[in-house]
Amino acid sequence: MIDFLIKFFYREKKVTNNKFSEHFTLKEVIKSETAVRKGIDNTPNDKVVSQLKAICQNIMDPIRKHYGKPIRVTSGYRCPTLNKSIGGSSRSQHCALNNDAAIDFEFYDMDMDLEEVFKWITEESKLPFDQCIAEFLPHGWIHISYKKIGENRQKITRAKKVNGKTTYEQLGFSKNKV
């Protein structure tokens, strides 16, 4: 009986300690103030969880490691209802509908130069991202996506406000494609 309890305890412990990624938790990539405010259940299914895990391990952890500074996820997974309620594109990779996932981020250290981070990701890092968008920099955030299954295109885009309207400038593809 004691043996059983010990085994059970360790198994439970292993499950609860099973880290999502080195530096990120599932909670922080699904949290949404809008979802909370509007009572939307933003809980992803297991398939989406595995896609979120893949972007954290393959993209977010290496960025965190390179700069040695904590990253603040401003928007990760959005279930279709949440995405609609914040006016996101129906094809947004934040919805994780195509074996993918997307994360918007900044750093807790507000003095971090996000233009420099964008430049590092798209020109030097060799990270296998699908799309990286400079969203309204220098004051905005960086959007990055990753496909767990399928080709990661390494597409580079800049979003700007022109006369109050959002425009997307396509900057091509990363030359560091691996």
Residue ranges in contact with Zn ion by CB under 5 A: 104, 143
The H or E element that residue 111 is part of is none
CB of 1 to Zn ion, least distance (A): 52
Of 16 and 90, nearer to Zn ion (C-beta) is: 90
Of 76 and 128, nearer to Zn ion (C-beta) is: 76
CB of 99 to Zn ion, least distance (A): 17
Tokens of 86: 């914040």
Q: Which among 56, 54, 59, 52 has a CA at the least distance from the CA of 122?
A: 59
> Could you give the CA distance from residue 131 to residue 146 in angstroms, rounded to a whole number?
7
Nearest-CB residue to Zn ion?
143
- With 0-12 / 13-18 / 19 or more C-beta atoms within 10 angstroms meaning exposed / middle / buried, residue 31 is middle
CB of 134 to Zn ion, least distance (A): 11
CB of 61 to Zn ion, least distance (A): 19
* Residue type present at position 99: N
Of 19 and 139, nearer to Zn ion (C-beta) is: 139
Please identify which residue in the block is written with the tokens 């309204």. Answer: 136
